[in-house]
Amino acid sequence: MELLQLEYFRVLGRVQHVTRAAERLGIAQPTLSRAIGRLEAELGVPLFERRGRSVVLSEQGAAFLTYVERSLDEIGNGRMHVARMQSADENVIALGFLRTLGPRLVPDLARRFNLEHPNVRFDYGEAGRDGLLQRLYDGQSTLCITVRTDDARVDWRPIGKQDLVVIVPPDHRLAKRKSLALSELANEPFAMFREGIPVRRQILDLLAAAGVQPNVASESAQSGSIFGLVSAGSAVSIVPATGSSHDCVTLTIEDAGAARDIGIAHISGRYLSPAEFAFRSFVLRDTALDTRALLSAN
C-alpha cells in the first residue's frame, strides 16, 4: 500500500467522480482507476460502487476513508513541521480570509498583532468560503478567517459577527436613509450573488421572511462586481458589510438575523508554528476588539 494510492483514494472519495478527481490530481483517468483497483485488490473489498464516471463510496470505502484522512493529515502535519524546523523563517503566517474582510478587519488584526510580534509577517490569500477550505486542505493557508463551517476536519472558533447591509445607488429614493426594513425593497431590481455562494441562501431567507420575492436583474460570484452594478444605478443589493461603501450608499437592515458568524479556522490537529499559534490565540483573546465595529456599514 503506497502513499500515492492513498492520496488518490482520498481525492476520489471526496469528489466521487473519476474525471474530476483525475483532473484535480493531474493524472490520466486510467492511472487513477488502476491505482484504486490495486488498492481494492490488496484490501479484498470494493471501495466504490461504479456509476459511469461517477462513483459512490461503499460501506467499506467510507469506513476506510476516515482512517486514510487521519493518516495522511498526520503525515502532512509531520512533513510541514520538519520543513519548518529547517526553514530560516518560521515567522510567516499563511492567512486566508474572506474577500469582504479585506478592507478593514484583517488589516486591523494584523496591525494590532504586529505591535506585539513585530518580526512576524503575513502571506495572505483571499477567497470565498469553499475556496478557503480548499486552501486549508492543500496547505496554502494554515489559518483562515471565514464564516462558520461544520466540516469535521476543521477547527472553527467564532470571533464575531459581520452585518449584512443593503446597498443602493447614490441617487436612489432610499439613499438619504440610514436604515430600512427589507419589505421596502419589494419590486426593486436586485444584483444577487450567484447560486452556490453561501451568503445567497441567507439573503433569500431574509427576504422571504420579509415577504419579498426579489426581482433578480443580475448575478455575480464577486462582491466587487455587485458593488459596481449597484453604483452604476442598475440595481440594489444585500451584501456583507465591508466597512467601505465602494461609491454606493449603505443602509443598515432593521430586520432580525441580518448578520453572519465569522471565526478563525485551521485543520484539526495540524501543526501550527509558534507565530501561527500566537496569532490564533491573539484573535480569540481579542474578540473584545469589537469585530462588528470593524465591519460596520459606515
State the pLDDT at residue 298: 47
Please give the backbone phi and psi of residue 233, each rounded to the nearest 5 degrees, phi first. Answer: 95, 10
Two domains, one topology: 89-158+264-294 and 161-259:
yes
Handedness of CA 224, 225, 230, 231 (dihedral sign): positive
Q: What's the pLDDT at 125?
A: 93
| Domains of the chain, residue spans | 3-85, 89-158+264-294, 161-259
- As a whole number of angstroms, the distance between CA 46 and CA 235 comes to 53
CATH architecture label of 161-259 = 3-Layer(aba) Sandwich (3.40)
Whether residue 165 contacts residue 249, with contact meaning beta carbons closer than 8 Å, is answered with no
Which CATH fold topology does 3-85 show?
Arc Repressor Mutant, subunit A (1.10.10)
- Give per-10-residue mean pLDDT for the chain (298 aa): 86 87 87 90 90 82 88 76 58 91 89 91 91 89 93 91 93 94 95 90 95 93 87 91 81 94 91 90 73 54
The pLDDT value recorded for residue 285 is: 85
89-158+264-294 has CATH 1.10.4190.10 classification: no
> What pLDDT shows up at residue 83?
64
Alpha carbon separation from 176 to 172, 180, 235, 243, 251 (Å, rounded): 8, 11, 16, 18, 9
